[in-house]
A and B are shown apart, each in its own frame.
Chain A
């Protein structure tokens, strides 16, 4: 009996895999994870670990309950858990908020909508927003950076993010290195940039969305009379623009669509930050544009190669 296989062309496939892409994102987030442990202490590591374990566990159990094939091998649940943890303050409450947010992200936002590729919003962002709205007090208790090393009081849980009105403004070097109040993964600009550049070198993301998003926010906040550099380095703009807005599933798949998406993210972020009652607007902006993504993809259609532009000479 012949064992010759018949299949449609192409008979040769490239090396890219979903798992490798997710692994690259995990590697790109590693510097920020390390930085968070240095800045906020071992509690950070615990929050990250618990969030990841909860995300992977939730993915495994939901897929089993729904009688679908096991997808934890694609590592996307690890990325969700990591990203959610990055968006939490490194306080004791995050030890249970992290796993809870992960479960919401994976079960409600991702699996109930069909799993990887089908979620309508970035699961980590949706998880963070649920936590922010449900546990606002716990979610805005920012520990003092480097306090775990013992040079501040044992309970230094009420340090404001520099974006909050009237907060103490750290110097530029502290902002770059992340020695400031904030979510555990968002503070160290250097680590986030290193991760972002790695993703661009690996061609997992292109600079388009981060550049347009950051550019729009910086320009608009400058126009509103804020300090654009501080707007860039304080809060979650870098984390959001490099790692969350570039999520494949919830951003448009054409470059023109991506520009519209990133412009929207930038506009909402600047508006929420300047006019809103919240100090930070990155998550809400990305969530809003996530929801607009199917619409953008519906209407931005590329014309096939060779299509003549209207009014072109030939």
Chain B
């Protein structure tokens, strides 16, 4: 390969306030992803924010990889596809991490992974582009699961910047990092497609400075692609949690502050996770919808931590077995990262579209210290990236002073966990914030 000029690497336009220096623990960063094919998948019919899909297959049907198995006629939804080829074993009610019960299609794999005959999507204008994105089944892969077609749909708001999130600020998780290293060309393909059809003058690719290899690879590819020219900029962000949170990212990348309760679109930005962009790059070349996911399987209880590419619907327990099982008794399992992920008790739960990690914690990581009295040190106030005051929310909750809760703008809390992380008294501040949000939400009704 001939040497490429390195694109200029930008520094953040603005620095957000607060945040925490969380430990990185990204031990899986340097090993290539491995592929795993389970014998059976359980595909939930609601893997996005919005209306759940209805099944289009029945027990006993034969399905191929990429075949639509569920959809719904609702603007806020994304279709769901078979992730293996085989036979529909059952359609069941399935509890997801977090407790929600949804319909799920169980497919027994025939081991062949026969693809459904798909065609490269034909795009002629924005409408057909959005239709193709919807058909791809893409939802926000960073964790939120927001249907991509809804996010990209044109509105009255003028969008001039696409911010691509490769910050990956949560400890342990390296799935996006491996995507940068293993599929950098798909990322650039996705960037080009998005910038072209949405007519975006500026694309900012944001990577934290603890991933120099990803920055190098992306800079090389960006420089080599003359279709996108200087529209694409690469930005190196300081490694500080929660740098990858949407509002923090937009602020760093463009200097624009998303108003409370608002979306990045309110300041002319769209934020997309890097793996989502990469997927779009692949999809517009092949037509194969979203059927597999890279999941970081790590933590002190996992025998062989690594990134695993597996079909959507793979049971967590199969993933763990593929990673050598456990090397110590796992006292806690987390779907997602340690700062914002959900603790789960049932490892039969499936990998979903937005799942990016499964962490198994042994005793020493799983058991958290007891909380003691608040000493009013104010660390939760100075660390809050949203400028909130968790200690006062706790006080107002204890007094059930609901007016005060509203005054304290609790609805702006994104539950990033910085307050709890930094609290010397180990108080469950995020839980107080959640409770306060519930109360305020209840009042508005």
Cβ–Cβ contact B330 & A10, under 8 A: no
Any chain A CB within 8 A of the CB of B76?
no
The answer to whether residues A16 and B424 also contact, given A305-B260, A306-B262 and a CB cut-off of 8 A, is yes
A307: chain B residues within 8 A (beta carbon): 259-260
- 0 or 1 for each of B184-227: is its CB under 8 Å from A? (1 = yes): 00000000000000000000000000000000000000000000
The range of chain A's interface size is 35 or more
The answer to whether residues A301 and B378 also contact, given A254-B389, A306-B260 and a CB cut-off of 8 A, is no
Any chain A CB within 8 A of the CB of B95?
no
Cβ–Cβ contact A17 & B424, under 8 A: yes
Cβ–Cβ contact B430 & A304, under 8 A: no
| Closest Cβ neighbor of B415 among chain A residues | A9
Any chain A CB within 8 A of the CB of B116?
no
Cβ–Cβ contact B341 & A116, under 8 A: no
Cβ–Cβ contact A304 & B409, under 8 A: yes
| Closest Cβ neighbor of B416 among chain A residues | A10
> Smallest CB–CB gap between A2 and chain B, Å?
7
> Smallest CB–CB gap between B1 and chain A, Å?
40
Contact pick for A10, options B338, B369, B376, B408, CB 8 Å? B338
Cβ–Cβ contact B376 & A248, under 8 A: yes
Complex CA distance for A198 and B341, rounded to whole angstroms: 36
> Smallest CB–CB gap between B10 and chain A, Å?
22
Cβ–Cβ contact A9 & B407, under 8 A: no
| Closest Cβ neighbor of B411 among chain A residues | A304
Contact pick for B343, options A5, A118, A253, A303, CB 8 Å? A5
Any chain A CB within 8 A of the CB of B180?
no
B389: chain A residues within 8 A (beta carbon): 253-254, 301-302
Cβ–Cβ contact B421 & A13, under 8 A: yes
Complex CA distance for A17 and B412, rounded to whole angstroms: 27
> Smallest CB–CB gap between B442 and chain A, Å?
19
A65: chain B residues within 8 A (beta carbon): none
> Smallest CB–CB gap between B135 and chain A, Å?
33
Cβ–Cβ contact B385 & A9, under 8 A: no
Give the number of residue pairs across the A-B interface with Cβ within 8 Å: 155
Any chain A CB within 8 A of the CB of B331?
yes
Cβ–Cβ contact B368 & A11, under 8 A: yes
Any chain B CB within 8 A of the CB of A6?
yes
Cβ–Cβ contact A304 & B428, under 8 A: no
Contact pick for B382, options A8, A116, A255, CB 8 Å? A255
Cβ–Cβ contact A306 & B259, under 8 A: yes
- 0 or 1 for each of A41-85: is its CB under 8 Å from B? (1 = yes): 000000000000000000000000000000100101000000000
B426: chain A residues within 8 A (beta carbon): 13, 17
B392: chain A residues within 8 A (beta carbon): 253, 297
Cβ–Cβ contact A2 & B343, under 8 A: no
> Smallest CB–CB gap between A270 and chain B, Å?
26
Contact pick for B391, options A6, A10, A253, A306, CB 8 Å? A253
Cβ–Cβ contact A12 & B23, under 8 A: yes
Complex CA distance for A76 and B372, rounded to whole angstroms: 13
19 contacts between A and B (CB under 8 A): A4-B345, A5-B367, A8-B428, A10-B340, A10-B420, A10-B421, A11-B365, A14-B22, A16-B423, A71-B372, A74-B372, A114-B373, A248-B376, A255-B382, A304-B387, A305-B17, A305-B385, A305-B412, A307-B260
| Interface residues in chain B, defined as those with a beta carbon under 8 Å from any beta carbon in chain A | 16-17, 20, 22-23, 171, 247, 251, 257-260, 262, 329-334, 338-345, 359, 361, 365-369, 372-379, 381-382, 385-389, 391-392, 407-409, 412, 415, 417, 420-426, 428, 430-431, 434
Closest 4 CB pairs of A and B: A10-B417, A253-B378, A304-B412, A12-B338
